Structure 1
Amino acid sequence: MKTLFTCLTVGMLGCSTLVAQTVQPNNQVPARPATLPAIYPAPVSIALGKGSIMLGKSVTLVAPPGIDTETTALARSILTQAGVETITAAKQLPQAFEGTHIVLGTGDAAIVRTALTKCGAVADSNTEGYTIASVATGNGALITLAGHDADGLFHAAQTFRQLAQRAAIPALVIKDHPSMPIRGTIEGFYGKPWSMTDREKHLDFLATVKANTYVYSPKDDPYARDRWRDAYPAATLAELGKLVAVARKNHVNFVYAISPGPTVCFSDSSDLHQLERKFSALRSIGVHSFYVALDDIEYTKWNCDLDKTTFGPSGPEAAGIAQSRLLNALQANLRKIDPTAPPLIMVPTEYYDAKESPYKAALRKNLDSQVVVQWTGTDVVPPAISIGDARAATKAFGRKTLLWDNYPVNDYGESTGRLLLAPYVRREAGLSTELAGILSNPMNQEAPSRVAVTGVAAFAWNDKGYDAERTWLAAARELAGGDEQATAALLTFFDTQHLAPTFGSQPWQLQAPKLKAMLDGVRDAIANGDVATRHQAIADLVQRAAAFAAAPDIIRSGTVDTSFAQDARPWLDAMQLWGRALQLTAAGLDAADHGSAAAARYFANAKKFAAEAAALQTIPGATRFGGPIKIADGVLDVFVADAPKLIAY
């Protein structure tokens, strides 16, 4: 079906005077109105024009010289997936438009500036910023993807990927740029590290949410921690080199982190040279950004007598001075070798809270101001972070900190048996004024981690325009490949893994809020409703229980990313059993409501399924702490146990 576009001009030509008409073969079917697209992360600004653009089967791609091959390849892949069969390359814009032309480039190219001018758009001038302008013109359409720089152009292509999934691309102008310069993840959890395949998938995912940083810091890599002085075997170094190449393709900065703290001698020049040699080896495979982790170590004792001679008795202040000396030397060496390299990043031994201390004062006074300091917030696992909290950290460390957010990591005791799949919330809009960025510490399970990390990346990109619930929905839809039934099944599953624990007894997000609200409604209808209300509530429960029980099979059917189903296997198995228990519970309530003695049998079988579900364990070795799988615990199990007492039979 061919779509033609007519440009009507009134007075001077401009984006505001362009009206697109979708002309069907018989000219009798009107075009549907353009609608504002939902883009994640939310753009800084997006404005609809009039009309919409159908890509059709043939598109002309106009790209000036110098565009990186990854972005061009991404654009071509997006068009192919959108059903475009013929992509013709061109170097110039035509005098009169026939069909759809897509201009791809950075704002310093004359052809890109011309294309933006044609619809009155102005290029975004911020680092990593981009502008997308689409308009119907003549008998065709012009879509311009303009990056402020190469990274911005790549982000523009990622936004275009979302636009191209729609049936029609509306005439619009998007101007966008990140609010925080550093956005991404740190593979910094304890327990089984990700596989190289997991990491490659994660880097591909980070690109889709406009993240720009991945820190390689698995606690169980011996060459980065226990044996940090030893060189990587050639084969391992080669594998890391492949990973660095994947990161580069995705415009993600691969940061290599080393953890020498347990054994390093801060004042020993040979240890400094060992670190420099390790960095040099990583530089040979393309790494240009480095990180020294000094968390989870003792500073009440020195690792060598030379440190005692150099810095005096051990203690917090002396540790801060010693660490600063080593880090400053590494930073100076990095600048000497590569003046364009990003600054060194470090995580301090006092990495949480912002209380004044001798250690923080020593870092503030002695540490090179260019070195980036990570901070986990008000606690190791903070329930909330405010602008005031971040401002206190800025004061304590003498610089804006890079937030290490320990969500959704599940490597500590309170998270045993859980996937952490709640939305990313309780981080105050406006934190971008006091943070250098945010890195999420994900779970041992890579694919399920994307649910929360999507929120982290979206918040770091545009904290003031961030909507947690809508971003959560977008994460589910992305994992489901756009399938609405699978999206609904994922959201049902996410709700069973909504609890977000801390190191204490009180979680900062409650378990299964949607399921609890529904089950509480059933309880209330049984306790306080009339006959009709009670019947309806139980009938609704029967339907909801069926959907709950069916969700795992839908998630495992192949529509949802298969890595997710694999990582979540025991949780999906347990959910299916709990779903069966809930179905039998609903049947028992229905029977009891009708005075049937069959209710006892339904409830007894529900109890058996519940016991079987509660006995399922996590995958051995998959997480630091293994144990029973938790599914909507404190909500579903309580309801199944209480149901036989709700109606006398």
Structure 2
Amino acid sequence: MRKYVAVGSKILRTYMKQKRLFVTFAVGLCTLTAAQAQDNEFDLGSQRSEVQLVNPVPGKKMDHHGLVINPTPRYMKLAGEKTVDISGGIRTVVPKHDSERPYDDDLDFLPLLNVRSPHYKQGFPLRAAYGKMPSVNGVENVPGAYILQITPSGIDISGFDDTGVFYAIQTLRQIMENPSVEGGKKLPCIKIMDAPVFPYRGVVEGFYGTPWSHAVRLSLIDFYGRYKLNTYIYGPKDDPYHSSPNWRLPYPEREQKNIKELVDACKRNRVDFVWAIHPGKDIKWNEEDYQNLVRKFDLMYADGVRSFAIFFDDIEGEGTNPDRQVELLNRLTKEFVKAKGDVSPLIICPTDYSRLWAKPGEDGPLSIYGRTLDPSVRVFWTGDVVCSDVTKSTLDWVDSRIKRPALFWWNYAVTDYVRNLILQGPVYGLDTSLTDRDMCGLVSNPMEHGEASKLSLYSVADYTWNPKDYNPIDSWERGLEVMMPRAKEAYRTFAIHSADTETGYRRDESWETETFRLADYTKEKRDRLYEEFERVAKAPAEIEAGCTDTLLIKELRPWLTEFGKLGERGRKAIELMDLYRSGDAAAFWKAYVQNRMTPAEEKAYETHKSGTMKLQPFYACAMADLADAFYEQQSGEKAFTLHGIGTYRSLATTQSRLMLDGDSTTFYTSGESQKAGDWMGVALPEAMAVREVHILQGRNSKDDCDFYDHAALECSVDGKTWQPLLSDMRSRYDVLWKAVEPVEMRYIRLRRLDSERTNWASIRSFVVTPAAGASLAFGGDAAASDGVLLAFDHRPCTAFKNTGAVSFEVPHGTTSYTFLLSLPEGGSVSLRQYDRRNRLKAETSYSEPFFAAAVAKGAARIELVGKSEVYEIIPKRK
């Protein structure tokens, strides 16, 4: 799992002719700023972001009547309301069988009586056994199966094996923790018969990015045991001793000691520690490297590792040879696994781990595995694409080739392709009809934030144990309570708004929240959303006060900080709607500029995002709608605001603004493969004559692949009938159309023509230049900046930063100007008016960001002096 990262390019495009600090421009321009192109580098996006659909979360919250057990048992029956009193303590009874052993270390949550206690014989008996079933029959013939029965005569646990007894104890622990047991004094009379469906249930630490700390790994292993996950695959991509260049070398002493501690922790929790190696980048298919591999396995074996995996994912070159891979795995199976006698079957991650690019025929690597790979070897599979749902159809496809049930590597809740997000939403997209005949198990590849991944792993444990009864919403609700019992509601508020990936494997988010646009404002909608933003604003402090997991709060804190700010911004945006509707222009604009995000605030939010599906888009749309409406109110004209349109769903979201933000280092990307009939474009506010369209395709202009390599530029007045502007363009990053005579249009699109390309499609900038507009001359020490145009571009969302003085000519017939500014705290500006002989006609100071100024008699030029951001200067004419 990898992607190509390309940081786009900014192209300096100046629509000015400079002469002695004076420039001429056409009103209505959408300008770009300067930057430099950068090359691609190998990374994750091209593989983890192929899917754009956002499916709703299934299931519903259930009433468990005070008795919550996870994973959900396959059979559970309460004996009415009968209970047993254990307040006098518990005495463990050890059956006299060789296969049994005392479990006191695992029962530390019970009031155990010491055998020397004078009250020992009066204690409530607990009997635990496995193998010969002395008291209870009917345990399923499956590793990990158990029966737990609580009756007036005692607590009886029977397991298929030692792990089964341990799992029964974990179920008993959860019963003890439920409110219905009255503080651990009374237990319900109950019978639970349980067994897992899938043999492999767990976690692969297989992401790119910062590997988990030792403390987090130990914490997670205890979590696995508690919720009956039995597999932990150690394979962090950025561990150099797991992968190239050091896979042949032994771990340094400290790292080796840590791994041994992990192995010991796994044994206590009945978890298989699987050590994985990733040698394919530079492996030599010779005897020397085979012995290097065996030597590394022997070192791990000496520290207690009894399960191994070999990854051949995300590599190129000779390491991808499936015949060589099979030869290696078969020899290791014979000479290492079977020779040792106590080593589990090997696991392989193939190079073709996704149907998206797997070669389907008989000569494909997966079919070669099916014919020649030792039947005991487990084979990983990620689904139809790298991050995708677990479906029967994808498993049927791969199983028919590898000739065995696949082991599903589920790339959720991994965020190495969206590292600015932290996923806390429900776990869904898992077929609940699957059995061990379809797949031998599932391991989740979580986030690099291990503690925050526990919420999803709680539900992964639920699903992999008992898929038939899996209820995504209910499992998520229960997981929230487990993760943060003292701040569940605040944590739920954060989690429900921190679920979507924005691109790729989309997850539903904010499904209980209804947002609206300015035009759809009603008091009922306003009040409901305002209350939700208040909850968002308060949630971080409530979580900080109520979360007792120091490792978790450390991981969440950067996102919580930005989440609280988002709540404040959203609440103020609603208050701005109220203020706009009140008609107080000066008060509105002052509050408006105060609620705009500064570049530093935008950077902080982009680094730790949440609320991407509804909350932040509401804020962004509200601020844009308010600016446009206010501009129209003040000028009597529509703002020149472009809106993204096209065949990709994400064009209807705020993501499309990345091609309209005047910054070509940012780019809109489709997030899904381009196909026949696709197009991307913009809608103008109304039909108008246009003299120029300039589009920068791709994420850069050097060697990017995310663009239409065969395209046509077209326009339309009604959105139905299209006429060509440029036809049959091939391999053009830079698309520029200039009219001999302006053309009337309202919609403009770049349409994909015949092509074999299936990459995404990206646009860095989409610039439209209307034909209308007068020319102005600028002067002053700031006039040389192309940004000065932003003060007259009819777009109140853009701003020119005036650091000194800027002047502009006053066209004949102009009677006044309205200024929309932002001033530094305590700052002010001066407005000076000069006649054609450069004589000062009037000077006024303003300390408010909104003001109107009449043009002095005889004034031909106005100069604005003082530090300010100038959003728009609106002329009023006779």
Shorter chain as denominator, the TM-score bin is 0.7 to 0.9
- What SS does the aligned partner of 1:381 have? coil
**Cross-structure match for 1:74:** 106
Deviation of 1:243 after TM superposition, in Å, equals 1.2
CA contact (8 A) 1:328 1:367 kept: yes
**Cross-structure match for 1:87:** 113
Please give the per-residue CA displacement for 1:198-225, whole angstroms capped at 9, x wherever unaligned: 1111111111221001011111222221
Provide the TM-score with structure 2 as the length reference: 0.59
Query: Structure 1 residue 442 and structure 2 residue 446: aligned?
Result: yes
Name which of structure 1's ranges 451-460 and 246-255 shifts more when overlaid on structure 2: 451-460
Q: Following the alignment from structure 1 to structure 2, what is the Cα–Cα distance between the partners of residues 601 and 537?
A: 25
Q: Which amino acid aligns with 2:342?
A: T
CA contact (8 A) 1:607 1:640 kept: no
Q: From 179, 198, 201, give the equivalent of 1:183.
A: 201
**Cross-structure match for 2:611:** 632
Query: Structure 1 residue 527 and structure 2 residue 520: aligned?
Result: yes
Cα 1:638–1:336 change in 2 (3 A) is closer
CA contact (8 A) 1:70 1:249 kept: no
**Cross-structure match for 1:126:** 142
Provide the TM-score with structure 1 as the length reference: 0.78
Cα 1:443–1:250 change in 2 (3 A) is same
**Cross-structure match for 2:249:** 230
Q: From 504, 508, 524, give the equivalent of 1:510.
A: 508
Q: Following the alignment from structure 1 to structure 2, what is the Cα–Cα distance between the partners of residues 38 and 188?
A: 31
Q: Following the alignment from structure 1 to structure 2, what is the Cα–Cα distance between the partners of residues 371 and 389?
A: 20
Q: From 559, 566, 572, give the equivalent of 1:578.
A: 566
Q: 1:483-494 to 2 correspondence within 5 Å?
A: 483=486, 486-494=487-495
CA contact (8 A) 1:207 1:251 kept: yes
Q: From 131, 140, 157, give the equivalent of 1:145.
A: 157
CA contact (8 A) 1:130 1:148 kept: yes
Cα 1:611–1:294 change in 2 (3 A) is same
Q: Following the alignment from structure 2 to structure 1, what is the Cα–Cα distance between the partners of residues 371 and 295?
A: 28
Q: Following the alignment from structure 1 to structure 2, what is the Cα–Cα distance between the partners of residues 506 and 259?
A: 26
- 5+ unaligned residues in a row in structure 2: which ranges? 1-63, 182-186, 634-878
Q: Following the alignment from structure 1 to structure 2, what is the Cα–Cα distance between the partners of residues 332 and 351?
A: 25
Deviation of 1:107 after TM superposition, in Å, equals 5.3
Cα 1:507–1:221 change in 2 (3 A) is closer
- What SS does the aligned partner of 2:528 have? helix
- 5+ unaligned residues in a row in structure 1: which ranges? 1-33, 303-315, 618-626
Query: Structure 1 residue 607 and structure 2 residue 623: aligned?
Result: no
Deviation of 1:638 after TM superposition, in Å, equals 2.7
Q: Following the alignment from structure 1 to structure 2, what is the Cα–Cα distance between the partners of residues 70 and 247?
A: 19
Q: From 397, 403, 409, give the equivalent of 2:402.
A: 397
**Cross-structure match for 2:353:** 351
Please give the per-residue CA displacement for 1:329-367, whole angstroms capped at 9, x wherever unaligned: 111123333223210111111111163352222222221
Deviation of 1:491 after TM superposition, in Å, equals 1.5
Deviation of 1:600 after TM superposition, in Å, equals 5.2
Q: Which amino acid aligns with 1:635?
A: K
Q: Following the alignment from structure 2 to structure 1, what is the Cα–Cα distance between the partners of residues 274 and 138?
A: 34
Identity of paired residues, percent? 27
Cα 1:289–1:641 change in 2 (3 A) is closer
Q: Following the alignment from structure 2 to structure 1, what is the Cα–Cα distance between the partners of residues 115 and 176?
A: 19
| Larger helix share, 1 or 2 | 1
Deviation of 1:519 after TM superposition, in Å, equals 2.3
CA contact (8 A) 1:36 1:48 kept: no
**Cross-structure match for 1:6:** none
CA contact (8 A) 1:35 1:170 kept: no
Q: CA RMSD of the aligned region, Å?
A: 3.0
Please give the per-residue CA displacement for 1:539-598, whole angstroms capped at 9, x wherever unaligned: 433432221111111222253422121112211110011111123234444556677776
CA contact (8 A) 1:578 1:613 kept: no
Deviation of 1:109 after TM superposition, in Å, equals 5.1
CA contact (8 A) 2:113 2:123 kept: no
Q: Following the alignment from structure 1 to structure 2, what is the Cα–Cα distance between the partners of residues 279 and 374?
A: 20
Cα 1:527–1:239 change in 2 (3 A) is closer
Deviation of 1:439 after TM superposition, in Å, equals 0.9
Deviation of 1:509 after TM superposition, in Å, equals 1.7
CA contact (8 A) 1:424 1:455 kept: yes
Q: Following the alignment from structure 1 to structure 2, what is the Cα–Cα distance between the partners of residues 462 and 352?
A: 25
Please give the per-residue CA displacement for 1:161-200, whole angstroms capped at 9, x wherever unaligned: 2111123232221111110000111111112111111111
Q: Following the alignment from structure 1 to structure 2, what is the Cα–Cα distance between the partners of residues 124 and 385?
A: 26
Q: 1:46-85 to 2 correspondence within 5 Å?
A: 46-53=76-83, 55-64=85-94, 71-76=103-108, 78-79=109-110, 84=111
- What SS does the aligned partner of 1:173 have? strand
Q: From 224, 240, 246, give the equivalent of 2:259.
A: 240
Q: 1:534-545 to 2 correspondence within 5 Å?
A: 534=523, 536-545=524-533
- What SS does the aligned partner of 2:596 have? helix
CA contact (8 A) 2:387 2:505 kept: no
CA contact (8 A) 1:211 1:252 kept: yes
Q: Which amino acid aligns with 2:499?
A: H
Q: 1:110-509 to 2 correspondence within 5 Å?
A: 110=134, 113=135, 116=136, 122-135=138-151, 137=152, 142-166=154-178, 167-168=180-181, 169-225=187-243, 226-266=245-285, 268-299=286-317, 301=318, 319-353=321-355, 355-356=360-361, 357-382=363-388, 384-412=389-417, 415-432=418-435, 433-480=437-484, 482-483=485-486, 486-500=487-501, 505-509=503-507
Cα 1:546–1:35 change in 2 (3 A) is closer
CA contact (8 A) 1:538 1:589 kept: no
Deviation of 1:89 after TM superposition, in Å, equals 4.6
CA contact (8 A) 1:291 1:346 kept: yes
Q: Following the alignment from structure 2 to structure 1, what is the Cα–Cα distance between the partners of residues 599 and 75?
A: 52
Q: Following the alignment from structure 1 to structure 2, what is the Cα–Cα distance between the partners of residues 234 and 600?
A: 63
Q: Following the alignment from structure 2 to structure 1, what is the Cα–Cα distance between the partners of residues 342 and 85?
A: 40
Q: Which of these two proteins has the greater Rg computed from alpha carbons?
A: 2
Name which of structure 1's ranges 149-158 and 228-237 shifts more when overlaid on structure 2: 228-237
**Cross-structure match for 1:43:** 73
Q: Following the alignment from structure 1 to structure 2, what is the Cα–Cα distance between the partners of residues 231 and 390?
A: 37
Deviation of 1:507 after TM superposition, in Å, equals 4.0
Greater relative contact order, per chain length (Cα 8 Å cut-off, separation 6+): 2
Please give the per-residue CA displacement for 1:23-69, whole angstroms capped at 9, x wherever unaligned: xxxxxxxxxxx947232111111112122436553322323167888
- What SS does the aligned partner of 1:512 have? coil
CA contact (8 A) 2:387 2:412 kept: yes
Q: Which amino acid aligns with 1:577?
A: K
| Larger strand share, 1 or 2 | 2
State how many pairs are aligned.
550
CA contact (8 A) 1:133 1:172 kept: yes
